[in-house]
Amino acid sequence: MGSEITVKMVDVAKAFGETRALKKCDFEARAGEVHAIVGENGSGKSTMAKIMSGVLHPDAGKVTILGEKVASPVDAKRVGLTTIFQEVLVADEASVFENLYVGRDGVFRSQLTGDRRTEAAEILARLVGKSVDLDQLAGSLPLSIKQWIVIARAILRRPQVLILDESSAALDLDSTLRLHAEIDRLRAEGATILIVTHRIAELVRIADRATILRDGITVGTLGKDEITEENLLSMMTPADRRASDATEYASRKKALLAPLILTATGLAAHRSARLFDFDLPKGSIVGVAGLDGQGQDAFIRVLAGIIQPFGGEVKVRSVDTDKMIALQSLDDAAKLGVSYVSGDRKREGIFPQQSIFENLAIGVYRKTLGPLGVIRKPTLKPMFKREVDRLRIKIGSPSNRITSLSGGNQQKVLIGRAFANDPQVILLNDPARGVDLGTKRDLYRELRLFAEKGGSVIYVSSEIEEFIGFADRVDVFFGGTLFRSLTGEEIAEAPILAAMFGKARDASVDFDLERTA
């Protein structure tokens, strides 16, 4: 690691109206290091990244990038700083190649040489793990590939300072390892890499140092050997929150032998995949894992009534009749008390032009219709306050647009929307993407309380650590089907990883677990 200071912030403050995003932020990073920026949602991390990038100007304090003041994104580009923001920014109507070089000289002109195409093809193949058609429209690609396009575009600029704001949030385990390999290359070349992330395993694996923010204030910096979940939680969260977390799972109940609330029989989530059965006991939490594209995403959408399976049947126990009723549509899911939460909030969750209140309450509007079909919003205020308090959502006025919230708090609103329906089953499709450690603990606690009161949870996640100490069972998908179910002491990193890579129960794991820690 070099000793040259490339990024420096001193006493930086930034407010948006009455909201003080940063109060007193001090930070410095050096050449040739990976430096993580950590904190709960709303602590000021993204504001800090935008100030470094010239997107926002501080109200007070001093910021220098490679010894120069950056007053705009153009300045940032000139001095050698590139930022990958949390939003996956691609032009859907443009080709992959055009997206990679947008903003570069002559991007839509004849200067686009064969060398550039070769360079683009090589770096995308290295990142994605397979070749990508450069002439394909970006809009036709899945979210994970779009994220790789954004990352590749930044790397192709050969930045001296690279900021990644939750850039691994849309990536699975295998993809994250490839990103880490690319970060290692940049670090070896002397670049400064700043990572805003909530994935603790990622921090332990890749970061040389970590600076922690709490309520807009820098509370300290940890060296590589000090970056642990315990240290991060201690610095990120107030003492009263830590005390409640310590007893969070003290009274966990195993519910796998309870009556079934949902079943799937002879299910085919993919056209050519092996058929499988699935059951969800009342009051249980079932985690679902798998590498990207292994069938778990299609599976949970089938259970939610969003898509139809290629074969098989899903049934849910009716609250009214106590009989198992077929679930074939979104309307069936609503009637049977099955709520779905997507991790891709921008495409499948929020209504960006609507208020925080409307985004949370919209799921229960039809339950409050008056005689003339008028929504009785005043009757929803107690529900809104209950869910905001339950999930500790940091908001200003409920009438503010949902986009005024941090990404993690937007995700909390979607989860609150699911709880507001008083469901008997909650389906969560990677809900903690872009959510900090403290917020995850809040979510785990509320889901456990929900389960203890008889609710059932199916929780799809790309992060293995989310299941340990939380899920009653973990079902791992491989090859488009349910490959293995794990319970008890099997819910640990090595068995889950083995199953994710298609390893049989007693087979040795021939990949490097150390790289995934």
How is residue 248 written in tokens? Answer: 């969070």
Band (342; pLDDT cuts 50, 70, 90):
confident
Q: What string of DSSP letters covers 80-113?
A: TEEEE-SS----TTSBHHHHHHTTSTTTTSTT--
In CATH terms, is domain 5-243 a member of 3.30.360.10? Answer: no
1-25 pLDDT, tens digit per residue, is 557 999 999 999 998 877 788 998 9
Residue 248: predicted pLDDT:
40
Q: Using 50, 70 and 90 to split pLDDT, how confident is the model at 221?
A: very high
Phi, psi of 63 (to 5 degrees): -130, 130
Tally helices (H) and strands (E) across the chain.
17, 19
The tens digit of pLDDT for each residue in 82-104 reads 998 877 788 888 999 999 987 66
Q: List, for residues 158-202, the tens digit of each pLDDT value.
A: 899 999 987 766 566 778 888 889 999 999 999 999 998 767 767
Tokens of 18: 């009455």
Mean pLDDT of 293-322: 92
**Which residue ranges does the chain devote to CATH 3.40.50.300?**
5-243, 244-337+423-505+513-517
Using CA atoms, how far apart are residues 421 and 361, in angstroms rounded to an integer? 9
**What is the arithmetic mean of pLDDT over 204-214?**
89
CA dihedral 300→306→312→315, nearest 10 degrees, is: 80
For residue 124, report the phi and psi dihedrals to the nearest 5 degrees. Answer: -65, -40
For the record, the structure tokens of 104 come out as: 């570069």
Contact 195, 35 (CB under 8 A): yes
Mean pLDDT (the chain) is: 83
Confidence of residue 413 (pLDDT cuts 50, 70, 90): confident
458, 286 contact by CB (below 8 A)? yes
CA distance 90 to 102: 10
Reference 142, options 213, 90, 85, 192; nearest CA is 90
Distance in angstroms (rounded) separating the CA atoms of residues 139 and 212: 36
* CA–CA distance, 415 with 68 (Å, rounded to integer): 42
Instruction: Please determine, for residue 343, whether its predicted confidence score (pLDDT) is greater than 80.
Output: no
List phi, psi (to 5°) of 280: -125, 105
Contact between residue 48 and residue 9 where contact means Cβ atoms under 8 Å apart: yes
DSSP string, 262-285: EEEEEEESSTTSPPEEEEEETT-E
pTM (two decimals): 0.59
Question: What span, in angstroms and rounded, lies between the C-alpha atoms of 483 and 476?
Answer: 6
Domain 244-337+423-505+513-517 matching CATH 3.40.50.300: the answer reads yes
Q: Is 372 helix (H, G, I), strand (E, B) or coil?
A: coil
pLDDT by residue (tens digit) across 452-507? Answer: 999 999 999 988 878 888 899 999 999 899 999 999 888 988 788 888 888 765 44
Alpha-carbon span 186 to 208, nearest angstrom: 14
